[in-house]
Structure 1
Amino acid sequence: MNYKITVVALIALLGVGCNQEKNIETASESFTEKDLKMCENSKCPEVTINYVALFGDPEISEKINKKIKNFIFSSLLMGEDTIPTAKTIQEAATGFIEAYQADKAQFPDMAGEYFAEISVNEIYSSKELLCLEMRQYLFTGGAHGYGTTSFMNINPQTGEELSQKELFTDHKKFIAFAEKKFRSQQKITAEQAINDTKFWFENGEFYLPESVGFTQDSLIFIYNQYDIASYADGPIELKIAMKEAKPFLSIH
């Protein structure tokens, strides 16, 4: 199988995407079901995967690439499996397609064909932080598909993932600050309970999503469908300007 590779940023030539101190380079790669031999002469569900891959320092890039691929493998899991066993994207996509074919054989009148759209993009890069936005949207039958957006924050010097708590000097104080921003955005007064409107925060207490996205100008928190509200409400985004968040951050 041949990957379609488009180099997005090479440090030595363009100086975009990563910096020299990280000693890693960023490239954009893609994969579709058409790259599988099994789909050459038969119809397969659509599988579209666009993601970044890291090159340069072997140890650091390998760590990051493994995290990216594990997200892709997990996104394509079908059935009751929770831990991916695939070793390559081709293998993970093959498993997704074979699951569809088995379901179609068992339920020939099944309405709609499965499809999967997965993307991993670099949205922020500095000496201290590499932020990846990770999206997946799958349809595997039923009334509608389901998608999520999450973020992965990585120390570009080590390749290790940074937890949300590690990114803030005082996580509790930041959560209190973020709640005020959320209430203002959603028009919930300080006197109202957080769940007085459409939300269903557990135990009626405000909390942030598990991951935070960084851009040059903002911090982004995304509550996916069903996280704190109904599917019909769609993803709910809380955006905080970087200049307001900076006093709480442990990175700069």
Structure 2
Amino acid sequence: MYYKITVAVFIALICVGCNQEKNIEISSESFTEKELKICENSKCPEVTINYVEVFGDKAVSEKINQKIKNFIFNSLLLGEDTVPTATTIQEAATEFIEAYKADKAEFPDMAGEYFAEISVNEIYNTEEHMCFEMRQYLYTGGAHGYGTTTFLNVNPQTGEELTSAALFNNRKEFTAFAEKKFRKQQEIAEDQGINDTKFWFKNEKFYLPESVGFTQDSLIFIYNQYDIASYADGPIELKIAIKDAESFLSID
């Protein structure tokens, strides 16, 4: 009997140790074009990147860090390529600057220099759920720049992304609930078409952005410029209190 208890305690201690190893820490990092050799002796467009890096369990942190880096790589991607080839932030920034220099050489009278501002911040963190806010704003010619805000939700125990299916019990029911909140916020009557004012939802049917942000007390949905309205309308934010959405959530 004593042997069985000892074994059980030993196994429990191992499990606790495993869980402790899964704990991860977050560090704030930054990068600018000034760190690149290509910019040592020539003027470069501004590239400012503020992001977080995850440390701790190697397998978990690598998964999360790669997701963050992929966002940065995609944000800096210009030209016809749709899949980044860069494997480091330095490479991605260098390719962005080289694309600018090539465009400038082809169009010397091009007004304005390119620039890129990218940020990734942790905005929510529990044992089972981490949320990162991911912003990017680029100017690559034309009348104005363009920016987006999206969110990344991950399980800090595994490093895997938490999808809508994992976050919500019933996305369809929650969308109907969110539409009522949206209509109230935008002063759209229930008997009005969702596009009767300034919006242009596809097929005139309300839908939520693909990603959702979590804070301690709210869910955040952001429609970026051109998603459902004109550029001049700017990003459109819908906030829903956690306490109002609890029954729809499948996580604590």
User: TM-score of the superposition, structure 1-length normalised?
Assistant: 0.91
Q: CA deviation at 1:21?
A: 7.3
Measure how far apart 1:165 and its partner are.
Answer: 2.4
Deviations 1:73-126 (A, max 9, x none): 000000111110101000000000000000111111100000000000000001
One-letter amino acid of the structure 1 residue matched with residue 190 of structure 2: A
Query: Where in structure 2 are the equivalents of 1:47-66 lying within 5 Å?
Result: 47-66=47-66
Larger radius of gyration: 2
**Residue equivalent to 1:33:** 33
Give 2:99's aligned amino acid: A
Distance 1:192 1:21 in 2: 54
Matches within 5 A, 1:126-145: 126-145=126-145
- Report the Cα distance in structure 2 between the residues aligned to 1:118 and 1:232, rounded to whole angstroms: 21
Letter in 2 for 1:103: D
Q: Deviations over 1:217-238 (max 9, x none)?
A: 1000000000000001000000
One-letter identity of the residue aligned with 2:187: K
Aligned to 1:92: 92
Question: What do residues 120-147 of structure 1 show as CA deviations (whole Å, max 9, x unaligned)?
Answer: 0000001110000000000000000000
- Any unmatched runs of 5+ in structure 1? 1-18
Residues 133-180 of structure 1 deviation map (CA, whole Å, 9 limit, x = unaligned): 000000000000000000000011100001122201111110000000
How far apart, in 1, do the equivalents of 2:143 and 2:162 lie? 36
Structure 2: 5+ residue stretches without partners = 1-18
Matched with 1:244 is 244
Distance 1:249 1:127 in 2: 16
SS at match of 1:220: strand
Alignment correspondent of 2:112: 112
Query: Match of 2:159, as an amino acid?
Result: G
Q: Find the aligned partners of 2:191 and 2:20 in 1 and give their Cα distance.
A: 50
Q: Which amino acid aligns with 2:229?
A: A
Match of 2:70 in 1: 70
The equivalent of 1:121 in structure 2 is 121
For residue 22 of structure 1, report the CA deviation from its aligned partner: 4.1
Q: Tell me, yes or no, if the aligned pair for 1:117 and 1:137 is still in contact at 8 Å.
A: yes
Mapped contact 2:213–2:219 kept (Cα < 8 A):
yes
Evaluate the alpha carbon distance shift between residue 40 and residue 63 of structure 1 in structure 2; reply closer, same or farther with a 3 A threshold: same
Cα distance in 2 for partners of 1:21, 1:42 equals 46
The residue that corresponds to 1:199 in the other structure is 199
Match runs of 1:154-173 below 5 Å = 154-173=154-173
Cα distance change on mapping 1:79 and 1:44 into 2, 3 Å: same
Quote the residue 1:13 is aligned against: none
Relative to structure 1, the CA distance from residue 229 to residue 21 in structure 2 (aligned partners, 3 Å threshold; closer, same or farther) is farther
Distance 2:105 2:170 in 1: 54
Kindly provide the CA deviation profile for residues 18-73 of structure 1, in whole angstroms up to 9, marking residues without a partner as x.
Answer: x9574111001000000001111110000000000000100000000000000000
SS in 2 for 1:175: helix
The aligned counterpart of 2:183 is 183
CA deviations 1:173-219 (Å, max 9, x no partner) are 10000000000000000000000000000001000000000000100
- 1:184 partner amino acid: K
Residue number in structure 1 paired with 2:83: 83
- RMSD of the TM alignment (CA)? 1.1
Report the TM-score when normalising by structure 2. Answer: 0.91
